[in-house]
């Protein structure tokens, strides 16, 4: 374990944790949202970020501070916390973003880390290379080599109590992300941002984002605190937490507000086009869209920024509660219906059910079957694996109805869609306690049929009869030929 980070609860790869920030002498609850504060434009006073929004940590840009004479002098004299008026933890970025945007910056990792330490940053960042998506593999590899050099340089700098970020790059190559993650985890640096995902998110490429994060996570391992750099739109937070990210930063709240854009958990709206606010945050409870449009420009921008930040922190609280309740995947299911590309992202996460399953608690509060995607959740895969290890008698009745008291089989087991057959002793245990639709659902039936097939494959000598409730032909096609079928609906006619 990395000593500054402690994971307290898991749900899939999502977790509730605590990050100790020694220089600030504070502990940050994760998942955490870091509002991005532009030292030159305080859209919302940092003091209010803490008091009214509950921000425990924020992020600002040390490169901008270093290159702005007036601010640099104050930061060096008073320190960042005094400069910004914020007594929580402060992370600083290094100028890597500017490097990616403008192609060149005038500072080295050593210089910027020393500057970050000098102005009192609590978590500093080296100058890594944020490789954009879709570059050719050679570029991704050579950029990654430069990032590794930056991490090596960072390890040599005396940073005192300041924690140091070790960014994980690799563009759209999951294997490079994994390699970069392994390399970063082997340094003595502290926090692990997955970098250069902003272009993916701007392009709604959530499937690529999931692949990049899961690649990085395979390399980083479960002990590393992971920051999804530049990610703060409320619509993607649940998916990213479910991929194992712990820290997020939002510049979106302020940048979007400047353009008249209004964030929601299912996308971005234009203030111009809203007749009603789909929110009850303090801004939206007290104003109509017409009120906000009619305010002076800077007031409109501030109100929008406040709403944007409220809805983002609200989603973060919802995510924390979901992990505590063990229903993060249900939240991800809901968010996957915000946009077709979010569904792509969720389906990509389900492609990696095995990776997720390794971290998932064996028992949780509930399992809701909410879509055909639910049949691909890690809990279903795990139960199908478990079926193979169940002791099976010579002759076995599997039935969807209550097991009959009188039968000629050695045992009678219930079948629990989407999981499959289970002996009576398991039937009150998670996940068989799932809540499923009452209407017939071919996907549910097919998943249960796959469970039956696993049982038969592991016990080819057993004599198995399946009494099903009028299953769809696609589900029946997944039941092995050796199984005797009885249709309960026909029996009852």
Catalytic member of 93, 128, 208, 344: 93
Q: Catalytic site residue 93?
A: yes
- Is the CA virtual torsion 330, 331, 332, 337 positive or negative? positive
Query: Treating both helix axes as pointing N-terminal to C-terminal, what angle do 340-351 and 234-242 enclose, rounded to 10 degrees?
Result: 10
* Smallest separation, CB 373 to its own copies (Å): 8
Instruction: Return the number of the residue (277 or 413) whose C-beta is nearest its own copies.
Output: 277
Instruction: Specify the stretch interacting with its own copies by CB under 8 A; choose among 101-109, 114-122, 155-163, 331-339.
Output: 331-339
Residue 203 binds its own copies (CB under 8 A): no
Residues belonging to the chain: 493
Regarding 314 and contact with its own copies (CB under 8 A), the answer is yes
Query: In the bound complex, what is the minimum distance in angstroms from residue 248's beta carbon to its own copies?
Result: 16
Q: For its own copies, which stretch binds (CB under 8 A), given 173-181, 328-336, 397-405, 451-459?
A: 328-336
Report which secondary-structure segment, H or E, holds 49: helix 46-53
Residue 299 to residue 312: CA distance in whole angstroms: 20
* Segment interacting with its own copies (CB under 8 A) among 137-145, 294-302, 366-374, 451-459: 366-374
Compare residues 329 and 392 and give the one whose CB is closer to its own copies.
Answer: 329
341 lines the binding site for its own copies (CB under 8 A): yes
Return the residues of window 49-108 that contact its own copies according to CB under 8 A.
Answer: 52
**Segment contacting its own copies by CB under 8 A, of 110-118, 247-255, 369-377, 390-398:** 369-377
Of the two residues 309 and 455, which places its CB atom closer to its own copies in the complex?
309
- Cβ closer to its own copies: 276 or 389? 276
Please say which residue, 130 or 418, places its beta carbon nearer to its own copies: 418
Site membership for its own copies, residue 334 (CB under 8 A):
yes
Residue pair 404/412 in contact by the 8 Å Cβ criterion: yes
Q: In whole angstroms, what is the distance from residue 317 CA to residue 311 CA?
A: 10
Task: Return the residue of 2, 48, 74, 347 that touches its own copies, per CB under 8 A.
Answer: 347
Does residue number 369 form part of the binding site for its own copies (CB under 8 A)? yes
Beta-bridge mates of residue 21:
26
C-alpha distances in Å from residue 92, one per residue of 40, 124, 226, 232, 483: 15, 5, 16, 16, 63
- Residue 237 interacts with its own copies (CB under 8 A): yes or no: no
Candidate list 371, 395, 433, 465; residue touching its own copies; CB under 8 A: 371
Establish if 409 lies at the interface with its own copies (CB under 8 A).
Answer: no
Of 281, 426, 476, 488, the residue at the interface with its own copies (CB under 8 A) is 281
**Alpha carbon distance 357, 310 (integer Å):** 32
Smallest separation, CB 205 to its own copies (Å)? 8
CB 272 within 8 A of CB 260: yes
Q: Which is nearer to its own copies, 439 or 493 (CB)?
A: 439
Alpha-helical regions (H) of 231-360: 234-242, 252-258, 282-286, 289-294, 297-325, 328-335, 340-351, 353-357
* Residue 148 Cβ vs its own copies, minimum distance, rounded to whole Å: 32
Residue 337 Cβ vs its own copies, minimum distance, rounded to whole Å: 4
Contacting its own copies (CB under 8 A), which of 48, 261, 293, 318?
Answer: 318
Contact call for residue 380 and its own copies (CB under 8 A): no
* Interacting residue with its own copies among 38, 358, 437, 486 (CB under 8 A): 437
Distance CA 306, CA 299 (A): 10
Q: What phi and psi, each to the nearest 5 degrees, are found at residue 284?
A: -75, -25
Residues that bind its own copies (CB under 8 A): 52, 207, 266, 273-282, 284-285, 310-311, 313-314, 317-318, 320-322, 324-325, 330, 333-334, 336-341, 343-344, 347-348, 368-373, 435-439, 443
Q: Which residues are catalytic?
A: 93
């Amino acid at each position: 374990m990395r000593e500054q980070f402690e994971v307290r609860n898991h749900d899939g790869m999502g977790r509730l944790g605590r990050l100790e920030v020694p220089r600030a002498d504070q502990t940050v609850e994760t998942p955490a949202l870091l509002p991005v504060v532009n030292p030159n434009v305080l859209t919302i006073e940092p003091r209010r970020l803490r008091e009214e929004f509950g921000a425990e940590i924020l992020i600002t840009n040390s490169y901008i501070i270093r290159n702005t004479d007036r601010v640099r002098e104050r930061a060096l004299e008073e320190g960042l916390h005094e400069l910004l008026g914020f007594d929580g933890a402060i992370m600083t970025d290094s100028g890597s973003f500017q490097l990616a945007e403008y192609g060149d910056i005038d500072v080295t990792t050593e210089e910027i880390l020393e500057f970050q330490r000098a102005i009192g940053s609590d978590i500093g960042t080296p100058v890594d290379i944020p490789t954009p998506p879709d570059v050719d593999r050679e570029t991704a590899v050579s950029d990654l080599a430069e990032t590794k050099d930056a991490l090596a340089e960072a390890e040599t700098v005396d940073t005192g109590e300041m924690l140091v970020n070790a960014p994980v790059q690799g563009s759209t190559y999951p294997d490079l992300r994994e390699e970069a993650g392994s390399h970063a985890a082997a340094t003595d640096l502290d926090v692990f941002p997955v970098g250069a995902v902003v272009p993916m998110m701007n392009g709604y490429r959530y499937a690529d984002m999931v692949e990049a994060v899961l690649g990085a996570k395979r390399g980083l391992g479960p002990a590393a605190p992971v920051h999804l750099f530049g990610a703060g739109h409320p619509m993607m937070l649940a998916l990213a937490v479910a991929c194992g990210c712990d820290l997020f930063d939002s510049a979106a709240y302020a940048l979007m507000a400047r353009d008249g854009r209004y964030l929601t958990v299912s996308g971005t709206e234009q203030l111009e086009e809203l007749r009603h606010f789909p929110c009850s945050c303090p801004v939206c409870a007290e104003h109509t869209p017409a009120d906000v449009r009619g305010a002076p420009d800077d007031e409109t921008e501030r109100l929008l920024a406040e709403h944007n930040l409220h809805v983002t922190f609200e989603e973060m609280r919802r995510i924390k509660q979901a992990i505590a309740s063990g229903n993060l995947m249900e939240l991800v299911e809901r968010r996957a219906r915000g946009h077709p590309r979010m569904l792509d992202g969720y389906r990509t996460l389900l492609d990696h059910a095995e990776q997720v399953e390794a971290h998932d608690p064996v028992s949780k509060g509930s399992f809701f079957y909410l879509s055909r995607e639910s049949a691909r959740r890690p809990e279903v895969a795990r139960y199908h694996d478990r079926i193979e290890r169940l002791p099976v008698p010579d002759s076995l009745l599997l039935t969807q109805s209550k097991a009959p008291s009188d039968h000629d089989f050695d045992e009678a087991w219930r079948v629990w869609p989407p999981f499959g057959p289970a002996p009576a002793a398991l039937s009150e245990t998670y996940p068989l306690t799932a809540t499923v639709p009452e209407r017939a659902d071919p996907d549910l039936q097919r998943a249960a049929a796959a469970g039956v097939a696993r049982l038969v494959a592991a016990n080819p000598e057993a004599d198995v009869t399946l009494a099903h409730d009028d299953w769809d032909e696609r589900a029946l096609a997944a039941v092995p030929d050796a199984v005797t079928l009885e249709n309960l609906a026909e029996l009852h006619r």
